[in-house]
Structures are given as structure tokens and as C-alpha cells.
């Protein structure tokens, strides 16, 4: 049995902006808000139009490596 794994190509595009998955507007800017935490710094990324959250990241504290 032979398995074939397809690879996704990476293509750099400067002529397109991503769309907000909530309001479908083109995003040429993303708002970032830092959130203080005892476990390190977290950032929330959100749409400047509808203000819905796109992502939350986690930055490790100094004791976590």
C-alpha cells in the first residue's frame, strides 16, 4: 500500500488582502490588544470593522523557556 501526501504550495501575494471571517471585509489592518496574565503575555487580534476576535496568542513567560 503506497500513500501519497500532497503538499500545499505557498504563494506570496501583495495584491490581495485577507477577508474577515465574520464580516467579510478586506483586512489591511488588524487591531491588537495586549492582555496581562500571570502566565505571560497574551494578545487578542480582532477585526477593526466588526471587532470580532480573529485569534488569541500566547507568549511564554521567562520561566517557561
Residue 63 binned pLDDT confidence (cut-offs 50, 70, 90): low
> Is 11 within a domain?
no
Distances, alpha carbon 6 to alpha carbons 1, 3, 9, 18, 32, in Å: 16, 10, 9, 24, 34
The vertex-29 CA angle with 14 and 44, nearest 5°, equals 125
State the residue range of the domain holding 28. 17-65
Q: What is the pLDDT of residues 5-15, one digit of tens each?
A: 789 999 999 99
Domain count, the chain: 1
Q: What is the pLDDT of residues 18-53, one digit of tens each?
A: 999 999 999 999 999 998 777 678 899 999 999 999
> Is 1 within a domain?
no
> Is 4 within a domain?
no
- DSSP, collapsed to helix, strand or coil, labels residue 58 as strand
> Is 43 within a domain?
yes
pLDDT at residue number 49: 98
Amino acid at each position: 500500500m503506497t500513500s501519497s501526501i500532497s503538499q500545499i504550495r505557498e504563494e506570496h501575494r501583495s495584491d490581495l488582502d485577507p477577508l474577515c471571517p465574520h464580516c467579510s471585509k478586506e483586512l489591511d489592518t488588524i487591531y491588537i490588544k495586549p492582555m496581562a496574565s500571570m502566565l505571560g503575555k497574551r494578545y487578542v487580534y480582532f477585526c477593526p470593522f466588526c471587532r470580532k476576535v480573529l485569534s488569541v496568542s500566547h507568549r511564554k513567560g521567562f520561566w517557561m523557556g
